[in-house]
Structure 1
Amino acid sequence: MTLTLTAEELFRSAYENRYTWDKDFPGYTCDITLTNPQGTYTAKGEIKANLQFEVSAIEDESAKKAITGQLWEITIHRVNHSFEKSHGENTFSFGEKDDNGAVEILVGGAGAGNKYKVHNNTVSFVYRKIGNSIVAINTFDILNTEEGYLSQGYDSIYLEPETKQPKGGKTIFHDTFEKIGGYYILTNRRITSEENGESIVTEYQFSNIVFN
């Protein structure tokens, strides 16, 4: 007997398969090095047990803002929100199926217009309204752990909501995770973007990880 999953069940399974930090996560401090075309900058970072974060020991405001944004990105993707909290006001239906087996999930309800793709119990594509833009994120490399999956390679592009035309070039991310103290921690992020036809590389190194 073959059991057929609904669109919501398929998406929920992939959502709950994401790697997140558990309630015992103690928080940690780290050294951060930002390297971009403007130079190299160092800072101290702390992510607390409640996933609040701080950046210190850096004077350059632009670099501090960039590093702060990275800590926000780290925490927002490791927080363990329930499916009901994140998607309880949405409805789900099937869209197209790709040649590689990825299944499109169309969202209705509060998130109407958003869509995802699920492939091998992972969310491989996100198309979502954020403010006055639409962001499209395509994941092409994942790390499967015994506690869920992590995206290691992905690209993103922002679109005009009315015309669906790109607002800029594509940005490509390559992340490196290490298991430290029982938790998977981001230790390196390399970002390649386009600016005036040129490739711009920005790298964040997170080292000297010490749990609180």
Structure 2
Amino acid sequence: MTLTLSAQDLFRTAYESRYTWDAQFPGYHADLTLQQGEECYQGQVQISRDLSVMVQGFEDPTVQESIQHQLRDIVTHRQRRSFEQAHSKNQFRFGETDDSGAQAILVQGDAMGSHYKIRGSEICQVSRVMGPMAFTIDTQECLQTEQGYLPIQYHAIFRDAQSQALRGQRHFQDRYENLNGYYLPVYQKIEAIDSAGQTIVTEFIYTNLELLGD
């Protein structure tokens, strides 16, 4: 007998197959070098056991704030939340299957109007609206870990939520290191392309990573 997965079952499997930090995650700290063109900034970062973030040592407050946002993004994607916590109020239905075989999953009840595409047991596309901005993130490559998959190459397109005018694009390349069973970021390259086609490349280089003690 062949069992047919519902849209919710398919999405749930992909959601629960992501790599996240477990409840015993101790936190970590690292040195960070941020390179953008000819400019270079250095300081220290920390994500604590409670997933709070700390950034220090960067002389430029704008750079320091940007790094804080980047660390909070890391926490958002690595924080473990059950499917019920994240999606219990949502309803899922199938959309179309694209030429690559990715299955669209349409969502009702999500405050940001999220929609997804699933390929195999991985979420390969996320589309959302946040205020005046709509964005779509497509994942091209994932790192397969013992605890789940980690996107390491992905592309984001940003548009005006009303007019759909292109506002910019970003291409990401990430690398991770397994430190005592926890995968931590050691490198991220972001190629940001604005609506005029100008490109800015930013690199985050993490060194001297160390898990926090009790």
- TM > 0.5 between the two? yes
Does the 8 Å CA contact 1:90/1:112 hold for their aligned counterparts? no
Moved more, 44-53 or 156-165: 156-165
- Give distance in 1, aligned partners of 2:70 and 2:38: 17
Count of aligned pairs between the two proteins = 211
**Deviation at residue 111 of structure 1 after TM alignment:** 4.1
- Give distance in 1, aligned partners of 2:144 and 2:170: 23
**Deviation at residue 47 of structure 1 after TM alignment:** 0.5
Q: Quote the residue 1:29 is aligned against.
A: 29
Written as runs of structure 1 = structure 2, the 5 A alignment for 1:54-69 is 54-69=54-69
- Give distance in 2, aligned partners of 1:111 and 1:13: 22
Code of the residue aligned with 2:51 in structure 1: it is L
User: Cα gap change, 1:154/1:92 in structure 2, threshold over 3 Å: closer, same or farther?
Assistant: same
Q: Quote the residue 2:183 is aligned against.
A: 184
Moved more, 13-22 or 61-70: 61-70
Structure 2, unpaired ranges of 5+: none
State TM-score, norm by structure 2.
0.94
**Deviation at residue 30 of structure 1 after TM alignment:** 0.3
1:15 aligns with 2:18: no
Q: What's the RMSD between the two structures over aligned residues?
A: 1.3
Q: Quote the residue 1:144 is aligned against.
A: 144
- SS of 2:63's equivalent in the other structure is helix
1:162 aligns with 2:162: yes
- Give distance in 2, aligned partners of 1:75 and 1:110: 21
Q: Quote the residue 2:119 is aligned against.
A: 119
1:74 aligns with 2:78: no
**Deviation at residue 73 of structure 1 after TM alignment:** 1.1
Does the 8 Å CA contact 2:28/2:46 hold for their aligned counterparts? yes
- Give distance in 2, aligned partners of 1:159 and 1:119: 24
State TM-score, norm by structure 1.
0.95
Code of the residue aligned with 1:171 in structure 2: it is R
